């Protein structure tokens, strides 16, 4: 069951990410889950995989959530199922539920960077800026110097207090010393807030 679920997830991801947007790729994702059902049609892993399929490829969030409810009942301590539940709930506009799911996921898997970053990004539109910054501190403790996270962390004061200076200091530090990391940290949506020709040129360079 687990192997077939992994095959389905790979096909689904290739379809959604745009590597192969053919109906045949989507059919293979579905067929792999049907193959898994012959072994154990009611396993938690299979319900989770159906949830992933409906979320990633079919974009049917209602059906995805129904499958994930069952998966969570059968796999109550699965950080992966909770993480996926958080993504679907967030996409469905269920912000409080999504936050709780992701918070529980990072409790169960505290060194996994992906759900930590996504939890921080879930706090941001809810204006929970202190919580967002706290999570970025945790991420940077796990992967010190990560350009993407450094950029996100520096942008919290801008969202929170309209303070662009931490972001400007970070870019001024990274540009001459580590251009690759600077490109990871840069964000065109915030670069335009600087309102300088130099910032625009930099943004266009990183977003060709």
- pLDDT tens-digit readout, 23-42: 999 999 999 999 999 999 99
Residue 162 per-residue DSSP state: -
- The model's confidence at residue 130, banded by pLDDT at 50, 70 and 90, is very high
Please provide residue 164's backbone torsions phi and psi, each rounded to the nearest 5 degrees. -85, -10
Query: What count of Cα atoms within 13 Å lies in the side-chain half-sphere of residue 15?
Result: 23
Question: What's the DSSP call for residue 112?
Answer: -
Residues 190-199: pLDDT tens digits?
888 989 998 8
Whether the predicted pLDDT of 208 surpasses 90: no
Q: Which SS3 state, helix, strand or coil, does residue 196 take?
A: coil
pLDDT of residue 122: 98
Residue at token pair 């807030």:
193
What confidence tier does 205 reach under pLDDT thresholds 50, 70, 90?
confident
């Amino acid at each position: 069951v687990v192997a077939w679920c992994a095959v389905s997830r790979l096909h689904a991801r290739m379809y959604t990410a745009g590597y192969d947007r053919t109906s045949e790729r989507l059919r293979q994702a579905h067929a792999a889950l049907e193959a898994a059902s012959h072994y154990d049609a009611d396993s938690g892993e299979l319900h989770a995989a159906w949830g992933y399929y409906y979320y990633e490829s079919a974009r049917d969030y209602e059906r995805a959530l129904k499958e994930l409810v069952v998966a969570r009942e059968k796999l109550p301590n699965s950080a992966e199922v909770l993480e996926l539940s958080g993504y679907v709930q967030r996409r469905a506009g269920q912000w409080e539920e999504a936050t709780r799911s992701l918070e529980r996921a990072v409790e169960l898997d505290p060194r996994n960077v992906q759900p930590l970053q996504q939890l921080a990004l879930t706090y941001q539109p809810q204006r929970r800026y202190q919580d967002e910054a706290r999570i970025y501190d945790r991420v940077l403790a796990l992967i010190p110097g990560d350009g993407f996270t450094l950029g996100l962390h520096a942008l919290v004061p801008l969202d929170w207090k309209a303070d662009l200076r931490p972001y400007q200091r970070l870019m001024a530090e990274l540009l001459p010393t580590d251009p690759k990391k600077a490109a990871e940290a840069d964000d065109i949506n915030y670069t335009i807030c600087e309102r300088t020709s130099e910032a625009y040129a930099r943004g266009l360079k990183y977003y060709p």
